[in-house]
Amino acid sequence: MKEWWWKGISPTKAVSKEKRLIRQALKEAHFSNIKFNQGHYYFSGFAEKNHKIIYFSISDVRHFPNDNSVLIRTAKHTKDWTGGSNNYAKRNKESIKEIANKLIK
């Protein structure tokens, strides 16, 4: 998603692309109940696996176009916005799956 504005990608399309990537990665890692909380140009959400919950988030794509990371941390429930320690995955499926799975062990 880096430098999306130079490639003619709108912020809205950039967010959709990132949501799709995270949803696919978490599904491949066998997470369920994947829910997104949509901001205008950013999002966060929760997913569950083995009765454990993770929180994930990306920064506003307009202000942080070169931020190539996804924040992932443990959560006690789907309203736990503060959760455990911050962990960062690269914005690719393998990295997201690796960090998400590590946190639910």
Instruction: Give the domain CATH number at 13.
Output: 3.90.1150
Segment 80-103, tens digit of pLDDT: 988 899 999 998 999 999 999 999
DSSP per-residue letters across 9-62: --HHHHHHHHHHHHHHHHHHTT-EEEEEEE-SS-EEEEEEETTEEEEEEE--TT
Count of domains for the chain: 1
Segment 30-56, tens digit of pLDDT: 999 999 998 888 899 999 999 999 999
Identify the band that residue 68 occupies on the pLDDT scale cut at 50, 70 and 90.
Answer: confident
Domain that includes residue 76, residue range: 4-104
CA 49, distance to chain mean position in Å, is: 15
For residue 53, list its beta bridge partners.
48, 75
